[in-house]
Structure 1
Amino acid sequence: MAEEYRFDVFGRRMAIARNEGAWVAYLIGEEGKRRRASFEIPDCVAADELAQYLDDIFHEDASPERPTVVSILR
Structure 2
Amino acid sequence: MTVLRFDVFGRRVDISGAPGSWQAWYPGSEGKRRPADFVVPHDTPEDGLLDYLADLFHEDASPRRPTARRLGS
TM-score, scaled to structure 2: 0.88
Return 5+ residue gaps in structure 1 as ranges.
none
Alignment map for 1:17-32 (pairs within 5 Å): 17-18=16-17, 21-32=20-31
More strand by share: 1
Structure 1 moving runs of 4+ over 6 Å: none
Change (3 A) 1:37 1:47: same
1:14 and 1:27 map into 2 onto residues whose CA distance is 5
State the one-letter code of the partner of 1:62. A
Match of 1:63 in 2: 62
The answer to whether 1:15 aligns with 2:14 is yes
Match of 1:34 in 2: 33
Give 1:20 shift. 8.3
Return 5+ residue gaps in structure 2 as ranges.
none
- Report how many aligned residue pairs link the two structures: 73
TM-score, scaled to structure 1: 0.87
Give 1:4 shift. 1.6
